[in-house]
Structure 1
Amino acid sequence: MTASKGKETLSDFQKTCLNVLIVVGSGLLCLLLSPMRFPGIELLGVSPNWLLIWVVIWSIHHPIFDSAIAGIVLGLLQDGLTGPFPTHALSLAIIGMLTARLQRQRIIQENVVLIAFIVFGMAVVAATVIALQMSARHLLWPDSPYLSLWQIWRIHQRVALSSAILSSLWTPALYYPLHRWWKR
């Protein structure tokens, strides 16, 4: 370590290790928060989609391929916690690619309100992708563990809107610390 104006700086290796620790730690924290239901942050039995928020924030700062991989990895981890059929991996990969594509076209600016709107829209897209997967599974396999088509799409409306509202409201809680870290 070298001294610069009374402050110690980190070596490149230490910065890389710290960055990996922040990325993995924040992703795992969001993964652990996903199944938890805290009083006061639920709406109609739905909690914020923490992993979706994380993937959107990640995708703003990284290329499309990296964003898709992050979405797939976190989606598979979430699927491991929630059910026998992988439904979140595809939706989070699509969210990562769409958000990174918006960033490449310079549509996204460094504004938390705009990021919250993007999270709102992406939460609806993610819920729709999951509902489409459940519908396809129900149509293709008669012994599907999912509900009937009518029930899937009736519940989809409630889940999509509740998740979108809560996720967009909780976006600043993740956006500010992660954005500040990744802009360094």
Structure 2
Amino acid sequence: MTSSKGKEALSDFQKTCLNIVIVVGSGLICLLLSPMRFPGIELLGIAPNWLLIWVVIWSIHHPIIDGAIAGIVLGLLQDGLTGPFPTHALSLLVVGMLTARLQRQRLIQENVVLVAFIVFGMAVVAATIMALQMSFRHLLWPDSPYLSLWQIWRTHQRVALSSAILSSLWTPALYYPLHRWWKG
């Protein structure tokens, strides 16, 4: 082993264990931040979509299948906190796959501003998928607990825009530490 500034380098096993701890820990922190509303980070009653930000950052650094799996797992965990319908797993699955696809086409550079724009777009995509799920439920089941179609899509505009703005503004808070870890 080589030494660096008086400290021994980590073995491969230690690096793997530390990577698992950071991946699981950062995902759980984002999951726990999701239902919390802190003063100053809300816009029209909407908070940043922390899990979406995490999935986008993960998908930038990993293959499409990994982005899809991360989206499904975190979406199901979020569904466990919020309720099973509409499911967040579907929207985060699509976000993970689309972001990884952008990375495979080399459209994403290592630039936090570009990543923030991608988060903005993916937040709109995720909110639209949620609104589509509610619309289909409303159309298929007349006793649906959701609003009318007109109200669903009117609310969607406010939710999608607020979530996209806040999520893209908070992207650097997650991007810098996670990108540095996964790149290094």
Where structure 2 has 5 or more consecutive residues not aligned to the other structure, the ranges are: none
Q: Per-residue CA shift, 1:93-122, capped at 9, x if unaligned? A: 000000000000000000000000000000
Write the distance in 2 (CA, Å) between the matches of 1:36 and 1:155.
Answer: 21
Please list, as runs of the form range in 1=range in 2, the aligned pairs for 1:97-176 lying within 5 A after superposition. Answer: 97-176=97-176
Q: Are positions 1:76 and 2:76 aligned together?
A: yes
Percent sequence identity over matched residues? 89
Residues 156-181 of structure 1 deviation map (CA, whole Å, 9 limit, x = unaligned): 00000000000000000000000000
In 1, the alpha carbon distance for the partners of 2:135 and 2:79 equals 17
Partner SS for 1:114: helix
Q: Determine if contact 1:50/1:167 at 8 Å carries over to the other structure.
A: yes
Cα distance in 1 for partners of 2:60, 2:89 equals 19
TM-score, scaled to structure 1: 0.97
Specify the alignment match of 1:4 in structure 2. Answer: 3
Partner of 2:97, secondary structure, is: helix
SS of 1:116's equivalent in the other structure is helix
CA distance in 1, matches of 2:147, 2:106: 41
Q: How far, CA to CA, are the matches of 1:84 and 1:117 in structure 2?
A: 29
Number of positions where the alignment pairs a residue of Structure 1 with one of Structure 2? 183
Give the letter for the 2:161 counterpart: L
Task: Map 1:50-69; keep pairs closer than 5 Å.
Answer: 50-69=50-69
Instruction: Report how far residue 3 of structure 1 moved.
Output: 4.7
- When normalised by structure 2's length, the TM-score is 0.97
Give the alignment's Cα RMSD to 1 decimal: 0.9
Deviates more, 1:139-148 or 1:34-43: 139-148
Name which of structure 1's ranges 134-143 and 100-109 shifts more when overlaid on structure 2. 134-143
Counterpart position of 1:95: 95
Measure, in 2, the Cα distance between the counterparts of 1:142 and 1:79: 23
Distance in structure 1 (CA, Å) of the matches to 2:155 and 2:166: 16
Gapped regions of structure 1 (runs ≥ 5): none
Give me the whole-angstrom Cα distance separating, in 1, the residues matched to 2:55 and 2:28: 12
Residues 12-48 of structure 1: per-residue CA shift (max 9 Å, x gap): 1111010000000000000000011111000000000
Whether the 8 Å CA contact 2:86–2:133 is kept in 1: the answer is: no
| Residues 76, 86 of structure 1: 8 Å contact kept | no
The alpha carbon displacement at 1:7 in A equals 2.1
Give the Cα separation in 2 of the matches to 1:33 and 1:148.
30
